[in-house]
A and B are shown apart, each in its own frame.
Chain A
Amino acid sequence: MSTSAIITMVIIQGTVTIIAARIYYLVMNPPKDSEKPYQNKEE
């Protein structure tokens, strides 16, 4: 594989994996209702 292909593959796959992992971390560790970003505005 060429260097540019390897770099492209690693960067893109790595970025998607990191973002997905971060999202799942947030899903598994949700904020309390009072800490939700739009909670105060609703109230």
Chain B
Amino acid sequence: MSSKESNQAWGSRLGLILAMAGSAVGLANFLRFPIQAVENGGGAFLIPYLVCFVVMGIPLLWVEWSVGRLGGKSGHHSTPFMFDKMTKGWLWKFTGVFGIFTNMVVIAYYSYIESWSLGYIIQTVMGTFNGLGQTGVAHYFSEYTNFLSGSFGGSAFSLVIFLLTLFINVYILSKGISGIEKVARIGMPLLLLFGALLAVKGLTLGTSGASAAVPDANAWEGLNFLWEVKFDSLLDPKVWLAAAGQIFFTLGLGWGFIQAYASYVDAKDDIALNAMASGFTNEFVEIVIGSLILIPLASGYLGLDWVKENASFGMAFQTMPYLFDQLGSILGPIAGVLWFGLLFFAGITSSLAMGTPWMGFFESKFDWTRSKSAWSLGLVALLLGLPAVIFYEYGVLDEFDFWVGTVSLVVLAMIETIIFSWVFGLEKGWKEITEGAEIKVPTIFKFLLKYITPTLIIIVFLSAVFTPENNDWLGYIGGLFQGEGWEFDSSSIVSKIMYSDLHQQIADTTDPDKLELLKDKMLYSKISRFILTAAFAFMVYLVYIANKRMEKKEN
């Protein structure tokens, strides 16, 4: 039986689609995609990317929407009991813990990154970046994020804005699905508008950003580098794996919030077309808008060579304010507010989605009020977020992000596709996808759902476990047949478990200060892993208690 609080529903179809799209649209659309494309064959990257979108992205969207709506019919608004409903046996519900755990941890540090956007909007309006120069802007970011080694001023402001951002999220979550829908209906159109304006700038900048320092700077060279087709890259497994990974992250798959959102969809409403709408909204933002901002603007002021060497996630805050400052005293702040405003809307629509599984779990399984659920999440996010914030330079955020924001997603997606297609059964699953559908779902997707999508996800997972050095798949697979060994890349799960990279850095360094920092990083990493393990165990325990409560009510 569901509590009164969990008997919520989406107010409108457009609100649902915008909220779902918003949950997926995030920093990755504007930062990760263009960099992945640049590193993996430019225009040719779109081929494996779009193939993976069709054979993995869309099927998984349908799976997650179906799992959610099915669970919602029985008052389940988070993955543990959605999986329980679809399976026999007591164990499956505990695999669904990932669908709450992931969001509970990620919202803690994601809201911190989201708060950077809000903080940078304020600093842009205040003129902090005016005339600061490229080095000054990068240094400001360092001061903004390093509590322990930076001056307290910058990071005190950062902490206040983080608390404000958490409060905003908690407040909106306490208003329930209708609150989230309102934010999506305002935030997503604004995001699209801001993005379009910046994209027009990216397309039209050309050589006008060149300076005496960088006379060859040319935005069109950046666009050319991004879109020029390099067909030989298609033969590299690394490119296909990168494409699959990007589809995974960009669509918000494997988190558990799509299922949570879908659990509030009416049982007879369409999900097939709705899922396509939210998926393609994300793709529009990524391919059409996202690709026209970061790379061309950076190339247009700093030159393509600089972009090739320095393109990274950090550019959003460490470089973009400098680029906008080049636009002058009026256009510069406007562009800065558009960019950081866009990132903030992208961030908050995602963090609200991350809060929903927790809300749904406590409202429906412990009869908590919306307010209690929201504030408890805020407290947990603060407790988990503060170590990530304060010990940022010791890699705590990176540790959380690797295990929870990367590995955990793939694990949940693997489990749910196996449940959907093999345990629950594809015939029943297909019926769930097509119930109320307003489009004819091509039957080829039955084959994809049963065999291809699960296989691809397993390959993505195994490739993350065993990533060879420098992602040289062809080289090491060929070497295996010749009896050669396998060197793990520092990004592989195997290397991460064994701290191979840190051990190597410790062995290589002769600088005593750096040695001290590396040893501290290893200690903080171990503490972070302990925290994550304890948090997961805590959620498993709560699911156990919730199950006992349900059994008692039924008896």
Give the B-binding residues of A (Cβ under 8 A): 1-2, 4-6, 8-9, 12-13, 16-17, 19-20, 23-24, 26-27, 30-31, 36-38, 42
The answer to whether A26 and B439 touch across the interface, beta carbons within 8 angstroms, is: yes
The answer to whether B229 and A23 touch across the interface, beta carbons within 8 angstroms, is: no
The answer to whether B229 and A27 touch across the interface, beta carbons within 8 angstroms, is: no
Of B50, B228, B280, B435, which one neighbours A23 at CB under 8 angstroms? Answer: B280
Least CB distance from B46 to A in Å reads 5
Least CB distance from A42 to B in Å reads 7
Cβ contacts under 8 Å, B395 to chain A: none
- Contact of A2 with B439 at beta-carbon distance under 8 Å, contacts A27-B17, A30-B270 already known: no
Of A13, A26, A42, which one neighbours B438 at CB under 8 angstroms? Answer: A26
The answer to whether B280 and A1 touch across the interface, beta carbons within 8 angstroms, is: no
Least CB distance from B243 to A in Å reads 14
Of B227, B283, B284, B437, which one neighbours A9 at CB under 8 angstroms? Answer: B227
The answer to whether B439 and A37 touch across the interface, beta carbons within 8 angstroms, is: yes
The answer to whether B46 and A12 touch across the interface, beta carbons within 8 angstroms, is: yes
- Contact of A1 with B281 at beta-carbon distance under 8 Å, contacts A8-B46, A27-B17 already known: no
Chain B, Cβ-Cβ closest to A26? B273
The answer to whether A12 and B287 touch across the interface, beta carbons within 8 angstroms, is: yes
Of B14, B229, B440, which one neighbours A4 at CB under 8 angstroms? Answer: B229
Within 8 A of A (CB), among B268-297: 270, 273-274, 276-277, 280-281, 283-284, 287-288, 291
Least CB distance from A29 to B in Å reads 10
- Contact of A19 with B220 at beta-carbon distance under 8 Å, contacts A9-B43, A26-B273, A27-B274 already known: no
Does B369 sit at the interface, judged by CB under 8 A?
Answer: no
Provide a sorted-by-A list of 16 A–B residue pairs whose CB atoms are within 8 angstroms: A1-B223, A4-B43, A4-B229, A5-B43, A5-B223, A5-B224, A5-B226, A5-B229, A8-B228, A9-B223, A9-B227, A12-B50, A13-B287, A16-B287, A17-B284, A27-B17
Cβ contacts under 8 Å, A12 to chain B: 43, 46, 50, 287
The answer to whether B229 and A1 touch across the interface, beta carbons within 8 angstroms, is: no
The answer to whether B436 and A36 touch across the interface, beta carbons within 8 angstroms, is: yes
Least CB distance from A2 to B in Å reads 6
The answer to whether A30 and B438 touch across the interface, beta carbons within 8 angstroms, is: yes
The answer to whether B280 and A20 touch across the interface, beta carbons within 8 angstroms, is: yes
The answer to whether B438 and A16 touch across the interface, beta carbons within 8 angstroms, is: no
- Contact of A27 with B435 at beta-carbon distance under 8 Å, contacts A2-B228, A37-B440 already known: no
